[in-house]
Structure 1
């Protein structure tokens, strides 16, 4: 008695990822590129609000942003901490940063290799706006401008 075993075919996970997929710059175009940049924008936007809250150090932005952005956020976070210490009666105003979450993100690509994103960040008592400009620099995405309103 012989048993025939069917040839196994590689399984493709639900997300569609296949092993040894081409990861060149040409393969990272279109929808995949926009999804990756959107994920970067979300994580950097969340981190920026947490830095202003004092729950995260600004140095964590250094991998994804220009040095000027990190320096500005370091100074702004230090200034907010000083205001918190000097105005204890306004402590409730600063607590809004603690439970921030991304409500919405909008992106556009004004030029190849460049994206601009705007995020609405929901906090306990208000919503904030975050604007980013993300550019491809030597096969890596870098946040070149970051503003939190």
Structure 2
């Protein structure tokens, strides 16, 4: 059986993903820009929860965040680890971080070059809220504020 594909139909690779031809900053406007910010928020939110779980080092946030954010998360992860070591009977409370999955991402733009995102991260026994402020600096996006509830 032969299938004829009209020439006007764009072809996509077997994986279903095709790279954009124009990857300049000017091309990342409107919907494309908010999609990019949502992807950044999703990965940073997932990483933040994993840092608090102790499965990822806080230094991995340094590429995308301000140094104050990395320092704060390193301190918070160290405190949680200390509590786990000192209270072995409460260890089961800290296991909720293990299988966290980002369920929903909402992005809005209060000003040009600035986005705020909220995420719902679902764990095995509860859901957590993550809030981020992402700003464009020079040619890259930077997370300036990050809160995990």
By the TM > 0.5 criterion, same fold?
Answer: yes
Other-structure match for 1:145: 145
Q: Please report how far the alpha carbon of residue 87 of structure 1 lies from its aligned counterpart in structure 2 after TM superposition.
A: 0.5
Q: Please report how far the alpha carbon of residue 103 of structure 1 lies from its aligned counterpart in structure 2 after TM superposition.
A: 1.0
Change (3 A) 1:16 1:56: closer
Other-structure match for 1:52: 52
Q: Please report how far the alpha carbon of residue 17 of structure 1 lies from its aligned counterpart in structure 2 after TM superposition.
A: 3.7
Change (3 A) 1:25 1:101: same
Q: Please report how far the alpha carbon of residue 25 of structure 1 lies from its aligned counterpart in structure 2 after TM superposition.
A: 1.8
Other-structure match for 1:4: none
| Unpaired runs of at least 5, structure 1 | 1-7
Q: Please report how far the alpha carbon of residue 22 of structure 1 lies from its aligned counterpart in structure 2 after TM superposition.
A: 2.6
Other-structure match for 1:61: 61
Other-structure match for 1:81: 81
CA distance in 2, matches of 1:65, 1:16: 28
Count of aligned residue pairs for this structure pair = 140
| Unpaired runs of at least 5, structure 2 | 1-6
Q: Please report how far the alpha carbon of residue 24 of structure 1 lies from its aligned counterpart in structure 2 after TM superposition.
A: 2.3
Other-structure match for 1:3: none
Q: Secondary structure at the match of 2:133?
A: strand
User: Are positions 1:31 and 2:25 aligned together?
Assistant: no
Q: Please report how far the alpha carbon of residue 15 of structure 1 lies from its aligned counterpart in structure 2 after TM superposition.
A: 4.7
Runs of 4 or more off by more than 3 Å in structure 1? 14-18
Residues 120-143 of structure 1 show CA distances to partners (whole Å, capped at 9, x for unaligned) of: 100011110000000000110000
Other-structure match for 1:136: 136
CA distance in 1, matches of 2:18, 2:146: 32
State how 1:120-135 maps to structure 2 within 5 Å.
120-135=120-135
CA distance in 1, matches of 2:135, 2:68: 15
The root-mean-square deviation of aligned C-alpha atoms, in Å, is: 1.8
